[in-house]
Structure 1
Amino acid sequence: MVSSPGTLHQCILGRFCLRLFEYFKSRQLILLSAPFDVRLPGKDQSTADEDVLSVVQPDICVCEESKLDERGCIGAPELVIEILLPDYSKTELHNKFDLYQESGVREYWIVQPAYQNVLLFTLSTNGKYIDSKPATEVLHSVTFPDLTIDLKEIFS
Structure 2
Amino acid sequence: MSDKEKKGASGHDLLKESNLTYEDYASIDDGHRYELVNGQLELMSPGPSVTHQMLSFEMQKVIARSCESEYLILYAPFDVILASNEVRQPDLILVHRQRMNIIKKHGVEGAPDLVIEILSPSTIKRDKMDKLKTYAIYQIPEYWIVEPRTGILEAYVLQGKQYEIANIFQEDELVTSPNIPCLSFTMEEIMSKIPNLED
Task: Please state if 1:39 is matched with 2:81.
Answer: yes
Number of equivalenced pairs: 144
TM-score after normalising by structure 2: 0.67
SS at the partner of 1:90? helix
Match 1:94 to one of 116, 129, 149: 129
Once the two structures are superposed, residues 51-99 of structure 1 have per-residue CA deviations (whole angstroms, 9 ceiling, x without a partner) of x221111000112311011111000000000000133341453111111
Match 1:84 to one of 95, 119, 144: 119
Partners of 2:81 and 2:107 within 8 A in 1? yes
Partners of 2:82 and 2:138 within 8 A in 1? yes
Aligned to 2:20: none
Q: Which residue identity lines up with residue 143 of structure 1 in the other structure? A: N
Aligned to 1:15: 58
- Which one has more relative contact order, counting CA pairs under 8 Å at least 6 apart? 1
Q: Which has the larger radius of gyration?
A: 2
Amino-acid identity (%): 31
Within 2, Cα distance between the matches of 1:40 and 1:113? 26
Within 1, Cα distance between the matches of 2:49 and 2:60? 17
SS at the partner of 2:120? coil
Counterparts of residues 58-137 of structure 1 (less than 5 Å): 58-63=90-95, 64-124=99-159, 126-137=160-171
Per-residue deviation, 1:146:
3.8
Within 1, Cα distance between the matches of 2:62 and 2:161? 28
Once the two structures are superposed, residues 84-134 of structure 1 have per-residue CA deviations (whole angstroms, 9 ceiling, x without a partner) of 01333414531111110110111100001122200000112x232121342
Per-residue deviation, 1:139:
1.4
SS at the partner of 1:99? helix
